[in-house]
Chains A and B, each alone.
Chain A
Amino acid sequence: MDYISNTDQERKEMLAAIGVEAVEELFSMIPEEVSFNRPLNIPEGISELELIRNAQKKAAKNKSMTELCSFMGAGAYEHYVPSIIDHLISRSEFYTAYTPYQAELSQGTLEAIYEYQSMICEITGMGIANASMLDGGSAAAEAVLMAARISRKKKILLPDSIHPAYREVIKTYGVNQELDFKEISLTGSKLDLDELAENLDNQTAAVVVQYPNFYGSIEEMEKIQELMKKSKKALLIVIANPISLGLLKPPAEFGADIVVGEGQSLGNGLNYGGPYLGFMAIKDDRRHLRQLPGRIVGGTSDVDGKKGFVLTLQTREQHIRREKATSNICSNEALNALMATIYLATMGREGLKEVAAQSYHKAHYLADKLEKLDGIEIVNDDFFHEFWLKTEKPITEISDKLLEKGYLAGVDLAQFGEEEGLLLAVTEMRHKDEIDNFVKELEVAING
């Protein structure tokens, strides 16, 4: 099955109009020594029915959350996704559109991005947001590069309490600009404030803090804000979980200069890690704005004085500034940002708070129950909806046993090569019975 409309007869007519007899003539400029003279070694095409059958056969080899009850998080969270989101983004005027280059025919996309930017500003407390970045990790990396450009310094303080994958991505990006990364150790489940203080000086370009951090704990943001006074140049970058901001103070209140994060939990499914969206917001500061990567939508008016929206401040971008652009980013995650926009609109003032609060209460309900069991230590003192559990028993053994009972027991920290234990996340999706049964099965797996 191909997607070509023209018939053989129509093709013939077109070739005649062009002035050639056979289609091969149109490729005659390709020199013989490079041309490809055998059929592609890819199977013949198939029909729709065969495709779906083929895909379902593959799907049957997976174990998905249709059959498993998950306590996994670590940067990808299973939250309730209102049904209307998929219906609305399936309007093909949205999903089959290109980047809104012709503004007059793209007002839908542009107005939605303007709303997205506005609501990201609202939850983070910041003044300006861009139209989205590729994902949480790359948004954090671009924030670091931006901070280095603004401060004209190279030292980046990168605590071990940040998601290990984000730290990897940040370093991959940073190595090209010869940034100097200084790791800050973990004390308990938080960054070591004394070590941060020792390393923070006038050579520092940025301090990066995750809020809540990778282990679920809430860093001592007020003390960090105080410490930032030690350096005139350094910027504070906060990697925030957007759902938590329904309940927690926005990073702007702790003096954040750049707030980034993974927007997946705002109405986007898990999709095995992508497509997700990175969000990025900054203070309302013209100097910083000039260094902001990515697309930005702004309001303006048309020749009749009617309000409308356009892509703006494009002189920061690659298609104009080329090698001097603030980033190479072109395609971003517009449709995922639209999902986040519809999510924030639907959940609204009360809903985001309620999702955050339910996740908080349920995670604490689970942690309180687990803490009473023998052989389990909860490392965190305080946390939002995710916590770090330690036990003597090998985690792989526990995970395997729980999988047999239908549970994804959490994320095994050993895979990141730094710490041991299990990272457990609970959202509003888990009901009490599931949590109670999970505790029973976990107890059997550990002590049974």
Chain B
Amino acid sequence: MDEKLIKDYSSPGRKGYSLPPLDVPEKDLNAGLGNYLREEPLALPEVSEVDVVRHYTALSEMNYGVDSGIYPLGSCTMKYNPKRNEDLARIPELTQLHPYQKDDQLQGSLEILHDLKNYLAEVSGMDAVTLQPASGSHGEFVGLMIIRKYFEDQGDLRKKVIVPDSAHGTNPASAAMAGFDVIEIKSNERGMVDPAALREAMNEEVAALMLTNPSTLGIFEKDILEIADIVHEKGGLLYYDGANMNAVMGYVRPGDMNFDVLHFNLHKTFSTPHGGGGPGSGPVGVKEFLAPYLPYPVLSKSEDKYFWDYAKEKSIGKVHSFYGNYAVMLRAWAYMVTVGGPGLKKTTENAVINANYLKTKLKETFELPYGEDSLHEFVLSGSKQKKEGVSTLNIAKRLLDYDQYAPTIYFPLVVKEALMIEPTETENIETLDRFIETMLNIAREINEDPEMVKNSPHTTVVRRLDESQAAREPDLCW
């Protein structure tokens, strides 16, 4: 640890804030609160403003963001987060708003949200959109609850959801949280859903199949209409995991592939920053027949007025205290307006070019277990290197020594020693070439000096951390 904890800056009596003096008569706290008055003083830090600024600046220097360099995390879409969108999400008249202010005081904001909903519906080919879910997995949960409620309404209680073994971990977790039993189906030798296996698993007890297309291997499911038919013929619904939306904008829409429900990740395809693990935003889009089940309130428009409709007859209910992550939506709106319809298509094209360029340059040195044409991301295996005794984890750690973030590793589970790489469209050719050169260099190092690679990272503020110690002897607060 290069930077001590904030509490270790404490000096008794030191202060980092100032408030105006109390300008109303003081009440007797003992009389008013009696037994509920805190007895022990809070053991919070006693630090100055400069202490706080220096400390968190030092912490930021021990971090790496998209602004620091390439961030090729597969399925995470770590693209550049435009600065102007940050400014926009700080305009006081757009943000200093209380969630219980009346609709007629907020027409500007509601117009923005309404436009955003329409844009998302257009990109995805869906009919109705809710912005309420606060993250991607929150969106999955909402989508699955909508499906559950729909079947309940039909008097057709379906308890199962099918999830491919290549799916994001949130898919089965969200299905379980929405009260479904999860059936996992194996991918075929192409890494895709096997229509035969699906046909076998599919029956009248299955509420939905969750799928992302392209899959987590970045490969487009060509048999998508056949798959949709297999599911729909048995009365089931098709759920689209929108984490991979960056691959398809302007080329193909989930709605046109006969998906019934999807979620978006505004913090992926629509460029809002990840914040070190949130806030995100996970709007959900549905086809018309599922619109009555969306969480309430639903943003609506009547003549020229925007308003929240609290009708909840068929709605699944509320999933957020208010309307979702509004300030994240502002940024996503700004992105879509700035880039525009043609720009979104160009975005997808460049994301796919960048990924294919990396794949072309790396596939000789690292194994490419699934050789099908891929879109915005691809998955390599470190299995050749593993034979030299160097694991994918070691390769990832060695990348950090070169001041570059590592790809997603050991996912999807269908690839051994997986390195899942998604460069996004905002990286330029020099950055990509540097990443390629580094990866090839690491492959050489593995031949020449495997121990050095196994012991990486060497240059980071801390070296390899002991994760089992952390789990064995939890040290979770000071």
On whether the two chains bind one another, the answer is: yes
Q: Please list 9 pairs of residues, one from A and one from B, whose beta carbons are closer than 8 Å in the complex, sorted by A's number.
A: A11-B350, A30-B252, A65-B97, A75-B99, A102-B64, A104-B460, A250-B38, A325-B169, A338-B276
Give min CB distance, A146 to chain B, whole Å. Answer: 12
- List the one stretch of B101-109, B201-209, B231-239 in contact with chain A: B101-109
Q: B404: nearest residue on chain A (CB-CB)?
A: A105
- Tell me whether B471 and A298 are in contact (CB under 8 A): yes
Query: Which chain B residue has the least Cβ–Cβ distance from A339?
Result: B275
> Which 6 A-B residue pairings sit nearest by Cβ, starting from the closest?
A273-B322, A45-B340, A335-B275, A96-B65, A334-B277, A273-B99
Question: Cβ of A272 and Cβ of B322 under 8 Å apart?
Answer: yes
Q: B442: CB under 8 A from chain A?
A: no
Contacts A245-B38, A307-B1 supplied; 19 other A-B pairs, CB < 8 Å = A4-B425, A11-B353, A26-B352, A42-B344, A51-B338, A135-B321, A247-B29, A248-B38, A249-B39, A269-B95, A272-B97, A274-B326, A276-B321, A276-B322, A313-B471, A313-B474, A328-B141, A334-B275, A336-B279
In the complex the two chains form, is B81's CB within 8 Å of A96's CB? yes
Closest to A121 in B: B477
Q: Which residues of A contact B408 (CB under 8 A)?
A: 101
Interface residue? B342 (CB, 8 A): yes
* Complex contacts, B178 vs chain A, CB 8 Å: 176
Please determine whether A104 and B400 come into contact, CB atoms closer than 8 angstroms: yes
User: Is A210 an interface residue, CB under 8 A from the partner?
Assistant: no
User: Known: A43-B337, A93-B61, A176-B177. Is A138-B477 also a contact (CB below 8 A)?
Assistant: no
CA of A385 to CA of B466, assembled, Å: 46
Partner of A26, one of B26, B55, B80, B375: B375
The B-contacting residues of A in range 126-164, CB under 8 angstroms, are 127-129, 131-132, 134-138, 145, 163
Known contacts A169-B321, A272-B98, A334 near B251 by CB under 8 Å: no
Q: Is B289 an interface residue (CB 8 A)?
A: no
At the interface, yes or no: B87 with Cβ under 8 Å from chain A?
A: yes
Instruction: Check B414 for interface membership: any CB of A closer than 8 A.
Output: no
Q: Which of B106, B321, B350 gathers most chain A CB within 10 Å?
A: B321
**Are the CB atoms of B337 and A46 closer together than 8 Å?**
yes
Any chain A CB within 8 A of the CB of B261? no
A224 within 8 Å of B by Cβ?
no
**A104-B464, A109-B63 known; A411 vs B100 contact (CB < 8 Å):** yes
Asked whether, in the complex, the Cβ of B222 is within 8 Å of the Cβ of A29, the reply is yes
Expressed in whole angstroms, the minimum distance between the Cβ of A163 and any Cβ of chain B is 7
- In Å, the complex CA distance between A276 and B87 comes to 19
A52-75: which residues lie under 8 A (CB-CB) from chain B?
52, 54-66, 70, 72, 74-75
Q: In which size bucket is the chain A interface?
A: 35 or more
- Say yes or no: B62 contacts A318, CB within 8 Å: no
* A95–B320 touching, CB < 8 Å: no
On whether the beta carbons of A59 and B73 are closer than 8 Å, the reply is no
**Chain B 355-397 residues near chain A, CB threshold 8 A:** 356-357, 360-361, 372-373, 375, 396-397
Q: A34 touching B340 by the CB < 8 A rule?
A: no
Instruction: Determine whether B186 belongs to the interface, using a CB cutoff of 8 Å to chain A.
Output: no
Docked Cα-Cα span, A55 to B108, in Å, equals: 9
- In the bound complex, CA of A47 to CA of B427 (Å): 21
Tell whether B302 is near chain A: CB-to-CB under 8 Å. Answer: no
A243 to chain B, nearest CB (A): 12
Residue of A nearest to B460 (CB): A104
- B172 touching A322, Cβ below 8 Å: yes
B456 closest partner in A (C-beta): A104
**Which A residue's beta carbon lies closest to that of B39?**
A249
- The answer on a CB contact under 8 Å between A91 and B42 is no
Interface-facing stretch out of A189-197, A228-236, A344-352: A344-352
Contact A345 B16 (CB under 8 A): yes
Tell me the minimal C-beta distance from A83 to chain B in angstroms: 9
Question: Is the beta-carbon distance between B466 and A302 smaller than 8 angstroms?
Answer: yes
Task: Report yes or no: B427 in contact with A5, Cβ–Cβ below 8 A.
Answer: yes
User: Across the interface, do A98 and B274 meet the contact criterion of CB distance under 8 Å?
Assistant: yes
Most chain A CB within 10 A, of B42, B66, B97, B325, is at B42
Closest to A212 in B: B36
Report the Cα distance A310→B119, complex, angstroms: 39
Q: Is the CB of B360 within 8 A of A18?
A: yes
- Give 1 or 0 for each of B441-471: 1 = CB within 8 Å of chain A CB: 0000000000000010100111111110111
B340 / chain A contacts, CB cutoff of 8 Å: 42-46
Contact of A352 among B44, B326, B342, B350 (CB under 8 A): B44
A267 CB to nearest chain B CB (Å): 11
CB distance from A349 to the nearest CB of B (A): 5
Chain B residues touching A, range: 35 or more
Interface string of A77-101 (1 = CB under 8 A from B): 0101010101110111111111111
Nearest A residue to B224, CB-CB: A34
Is B406 part of the binding interface, using a Cβ–Cβ cutoff of 8 Å? yes
The CB with the most chain A CB atoms within 10 A, among B37, B98, B250, B325, is that of B98
Complex CA gap A87/B46 in Å reads 20
A115 lies within 8 A of chain B by Cβ: yes
Quick one: which of B64, B279, B375, B467 contacts A300, CB cutoff 8 A? B467
Minimum CB–CB distance for A283 against chain B, Å: 12
A112 at interface by CB-CB < 8 Å = yes
User: Hey, which chain B residues are within 8 Å of A247, CB to CB?
Assistant: 29, 33, 37-38
With A17-B360, A306-B462, A318-B169 known as contacts, the answer to whether A42 contacts B97 (CB < 8 A) is no
Cross-chain contact B63 with A107 (CB below 8 angstroms):
yes
Stretch at the interface among A180-188, A200-208, A427-435: A427-435
Chain B residue at minimal CB-CB distance from A116: B477
Cross-chain contact B1 with A111 (CB below 8 angstroms): yes
**Could you say which residues of chain B place their CB within 8 Å of the CB of A177?**
179
Given A46-B337, A349-B46, decide whether A408 and B98 contact each other with a Cβ distance below 8 A. yes
Contact A275 B325 (CB under 8 A): yes
Q: Does A48 contact B (CB under 8 A)?
A: yes
**B314 close to chain A: CB less than 8 A:** no
Give the shortest distance, in Å, between A25 (CB) and chain B (any CB): 9
Please indicate the chain B residues that have their CB under 8 angstroms from the CB of A297 in the complex.
476
- Give the chain A neighbours of B3 by CB distance below 8 A: 111
What are the residues of chain A within 8 A of B406 when measuring CB–CB? 101-102
The answer for the CA separation of A2 and B96 in the assembled complex, in Å, is 29
In chain B between 17 and 59, which residues have their CB closer than 8 angstroms to a CB of chain A?
17, 19-20, 22-27, 29, 32-33, 35-39, 41-47, 49, 52-53, 55-59
- Which residues of B lie under 8 Å from residue A17 when comparing CB positions? 357, 360-361
Q: Are B94 and A58 within 8 A (Cβ)?
A: yes
Is B225 a contact partner of A275 (Cβ separation < 8 A)? no
Give Cα A192–Cα B110 distance, bound, in whole angstroms.
39
Interface string of B71-92 (1 = CB under 8 A from A): 1010010111110101110111
- Contacting residue for A274 out of B325, B429, B461, CB 8 A: B325
Query: Which one of B59, B111, B474 lies within 8 Å of A312 (CB-CB)?
Result: B474
- Looking at B41, B111, B140, B462, the one whose CB has the most chain A CB atoms below 10 A away is B462
Q: Is the CB of A165 within 8 A of B357?
A: no
- Whether the Cβ atoms of B64 and A272 lie closer than 8 Å is no
Interface-forming stretch among A356-364, A370-378, A440-448? Answer: A356-364
Q: How far is the CA of A150 from the CA of B469 in the complex (A)?
A: 26
A317–B78 CA distance with the chains assembled, in angstroms: 22
The answer to whether A3 touches B327 (Cβ under 8 A) is no
Is B318 a contact of A137 with CB atoms below 8 Å?
Answer: yes
Pair A312/B471 contact, Cβ less than 8 Å = yes
Q: Are B25 and A361 in contact (CB under 8 A)?
A: yes
**Which chain B residues border A88 with CB–CB below 8 Å?**
52-53, 56-57, 60
Contact B352 A310 (CB under 8 A): no
B353–A23 touching, CB < 8 Å: yes
Contact of A218 among B33, B111, B426, B478 (CB under 8 A): B33
Q: Taking the complex as formed, is B256 at the interface, i.e. its CB lies under 8 A from any CB of chain A?
A: yes
Residue-wise interface mask of A (406-421) relative to B, using a CB-CB cutoff of 8 A (1 in contact, 0 not)? 0010011001000000
Closest to A163 in B: B321
